[in-house]
Amino acid sequence: MRITPCQAALAAAIALNLLLLLCSRLAPGASPRCHHPRRGAVPDGVPGVTVILRDFDGPDHDVAATARSFAALPGVPVLVAAEVSPYPPVPLPAGAAVLSLRPQPHRPPPRPELAVRTRHVALVPDGARAVPGLLRRMRDALEAASDGTVRAVAAAVGTRRPRCLSLEVDVKAWTARYGHAERQGDQKGDQKSDRHGDRHGDQHGDLCGALDGAPVVLLLRTRDLFSLSFPLSRPVVTSLSLQAAARGWRLLLLPAAFPSAPRPPPSPHALWRARSASDARRRALLEELGVKLEVLPDGSRRWHGCAKDTPRCFGTVRGQTPEYLVAGRWTPPCCLRALRATARHVLAQLEAAGVRHWLEGGSLLGAVRLGDLIPWDYDVDVGLYREDVPKCRWLARVAASGAPVEDPEGFVWEKAAEGEFFRVHFSRANRLHVDLWPFYARPGTGTMTKDAWLGHPQDVEFPERFLVPLGTVPFAGVLARAPNEPRAFLELKFGPGAIENPEYPNPALRRLAQDLGNKTEQ
Ligand code: ZN
């Protein structure tokens, strides 16, 4: 078939129209897909820096003066981001606006990312004062960073220099680990930047995971900020550092600093109120981000999860799959700590009373694998000889009365509601527990059996020879009693290869492979 030049022109025109239509449909408005190959919900924006004021509090804040100072810079929009407008009302200068973050029934949902039109944004703490050119230098330092992990640039506010810390966030383990960051000047990064003739001055900063000890201005790309799940959570610097660390991003701390407004020293009461409000916000943030343990640079630990006087961190376990496992995380560290403490207490009590006992099930598996609880386990299992129960006074009292008994150290011993076994809880409030399974030898067979069966595949009878004599294995910081051939015992219960091939207790609901390889679930 022959095509005339006229037909060809017509076909070309139709194709071009279709293409234009497709472009405008795919990306209404700015149509970033047609003009920019980069993907993402937030368009790149126009050159410039938007200042966001987020961390301010109480009646004594400095928002109006801070906003005035930064809005006086040419072409710098200022947004005061808050759940509700500051009250009493703050006289904002031209170029500054309130960005309301609280959803309201008569308004569309707050979309702070739509309020920022510039390519870069600076989160400025209350009381900072602008320095002409410094925001631009911060932006240039960010864009000049040859290391793609540098996603934010920081500059101190005031005369104190912040401490530069390393930060590692282990999402699965609910843990943030801080350390002392190496000085950037000691590393090969300096030589690298010297090779680029166009780099100078401010690029020489310290690479940090987190900053501590002084307020900072943080500058980052707008699209990076709004790619975070909690872009404007407070305290801003803590929130951004934790989310950045979970993505492998780092902060470049420049030597330059912004001045801070001279303010009269706060009264002791105002200081106390500010501290407790900031502590409460910090705790709420860690809860929101799922950080239950902070390991500080000196090795000390700050716990944020469950304790003796609070409920445990997860609800009733169904299908051998606790809720944290469904969320792609492992046992909260506070719970592991409480389980270890309960296990050590119970094992010591049984040992002192002369009750023959041994680690069972997943606890023995963890002991043989790593000398500890399996990192996703939710209880501890211990077997004991039923005929020895009366030797332990707590078990004897529970068996006689049927009622729970709280021992002097606050652990609660009780008969399980689910069947013929005992349970020792970390406390009355916190139901993390050790299960005690009474076994007895079936007469004339040499086989150990029991009366409580919960239908778990590993729950099987076994030859008594594993217990005569009992052996030991390291577990949760102590030497625990165990069957004398623990590997053979575990293979009998869990099947061959159980020690070498870890798997979640109920792979039909959740498999270990789903959670390995991806350090963070994003
Ligand atoms: Zn806990």
Q: Would residue 279 count as lying in a domain?
A: no
Q: Say whether both 388 and 464 belong to one domain.
A: yes
Q: What is the mean pLDDT of residues 85-114?
A: 93
- The sign of the torsion formed by the CA atoms of 298, 303, 307, 312 equals negative
> Of 216, 240, 258, which marks where a domain is finished?
258
Quote the ligand 1 centre to 313 CA distance (angstroms). Answer: 4
Quote the ligand 1 centre to 299 CA distance (angstroms). Answer: 20
For 90, the domain range is 46-167+181-187+201-258
Indicate the range of 40-49, 166-175, 458-467, 494-503 predicted with least confidence: 40-49
How far is it, in rounded angstroms, from Cα 305 to Cα 169?
Answer: 16
Q: What is the mean pLDDT of residues 494-504?
A: 89
How far is it, in rounded angstroms, from Cα 47 to Cα 44?
Answer: 9
**Residue closest to 239 by CA, chosen among 226, 248, 252, 230:** 230
φ/ψ (deg, to 5) at 37: -70, -15
CATH number at residue 479: 3.30.460
E strand or H helix that includes residue 449: strand 447-450
Quote the ligand 1 centre to 409 CA distance (angstroms). Answer: 19
Q: Would residue 36 count as lying in a domain?
A: no
Q: Please report the pLDDT score of residue 191 as a whole number.
A: 42
Quote the ligand 1 centre to 229 CA distance (angstroms). Answer: 24
Report helix, strand and coil shares of the chain as percent, to nearest 5. 30, 25, 45
Q: Please report the pLDDT score of residue 23 as a whole number.
A: 44
Q: What is the mean pLDDT of residues 473-496?
A: 96
User: pLDDT tier at 60 (50, 70, 90 boundaries)?
Assistant: confident
Q: What is the mean pLDDT of residues 288-313?
A: 96
Tokens of 218: 């943080």
Quote the ligand 1 centre to 292 CA distance (angstroms). Answer: 8
Q: Say whether both 139 and 242 belong to one domain.
A: yes
Whether 65 has a pLDDT exceeding 70, the answer reads: yes
Quote the ligand 1 centre to 441 CA distance (angstroms). Answer: 37
Mean pLDDT of the chain: 88
Q: Would residue 341 count as lying in a domain?
A: yes
Quote the ligand 1 centre to 352 CA distance (angstroms). Answer: 28
Contacts of residues 506-510 at CB distance under 8 Å and 24 or more positions apart, as own/partner, are 506/319, 506/320, 506/321, 509/319, 509/320, 509/321, 509/326, 510/321, 510/325, 510/326
Q: What is the reported pTM?
A: 0.83
Quote the ligand 1 centre to 333 CA distance (angstroms). Answer: 6
Q: Say whether both 374 and 230 belong to one domain.
A: no
How far is it, in rounded angstroms, from Cα 95 to Cα 68?
Answer: 9
Quote the ligand 1 centre to 389 CA distance (angstroms). Answer: 30
Q: What is the mean pLDDT of residues 34-44?
A: 50
Quote the ligand 1 centre to 124 CA distance (angstroms). Answer: 35
Quote the ligand 1 centre to 459 CA distance (angstroms). Answer: 27
Whether 21 has a pLDDT exceeding 90, the answer reads: no
Beta 216-221 vs 150-157: how paired, if at all? antiparallel
Q: Say whether both 210 and 334 belong to one domain.
A: no
Q: What is the mean pLDDT of residues 177-191?
A: 64
Q: Please report the pLDDT score of residue 452 as a whole number.
A: 81
User: pLDDT tier at 232 (50, 70, 90 boundaries)?
Assistant: very high
Q: What is the mean pLDDT of residues 463-471?
A: 96
How far is it, in rounded angstroms, from Cα 312 to Cα 330?
Answer: 14
Which carries the bigger pLDDT value, residue 9 or residue 344?
344
Q: Would residue 299 count as lying in a domain?
A: no
Quote the ligand 1 centre to 404 CA distance (angstroms). Answer: 22
Hey, what amino acid is at 132?
P
Rounded alpha-carbon distances, angstroms, from residue 29 to 25, 26, 45, 111, 114: 9, 10, 13, 16, 12
Quote the ligand 1 centre to 314 CA distance (angstroms). Answer: 7
User: pLDDT tier at 7 (50, 70, 90 boundaries)?
Assistant: low
Q: Say whether both 244 and 120 belong to one domain.
A: yes
Q: What is the DSSP letter of 386?
A: G
CATH number at residue 153: 3.90.550.60
Beta 471-475 vs 478-482: how paired, if at all? antiparallel
Q: Would residue 484 count as lying in a domain?
A: yes
Q: Would residue 327 count as lying in a domain?
A: yes
Tens digit of each residue's pLDDT (9 = 90 or more) over 285-299: 999 999 999 999 999
Quote the ligand 1 centre to 198 CA distance (angstroms). Answer: 52
Q: Would residue 155 count as lying in a domain?
A: yes
Q: Sheet containing 46-53: give its strands across.
A: 96-100, 78-82, 46-53, 118-124, 216-221, 150-157, 250-258, 206-208
Rounded alpha-carbon distances, angstroms, from residue 493 to 346, 362, 475, 489, 499: 23, 10, 19, 6, 11
Q: Please report the pLDDT score of residue 456 as a whole number.
A: 78
User: pLDDT tier at 448 (50, 70, 90 boundaries)?
Assistant: very high
Rounded alpha-carbon distances, angstroms, from residue 174 to 361, 476, 506: 25, 19, 22
φ/ψ (deg, to 5) at 517: 90, -45
Query: How many structural domains is the chain composed of?
Result: 2
Indicate the range of 27-41, 253-267, 272-286, 378-392 predicted with least confidence: 27-41
Hey, what amino acid is at 282?
R
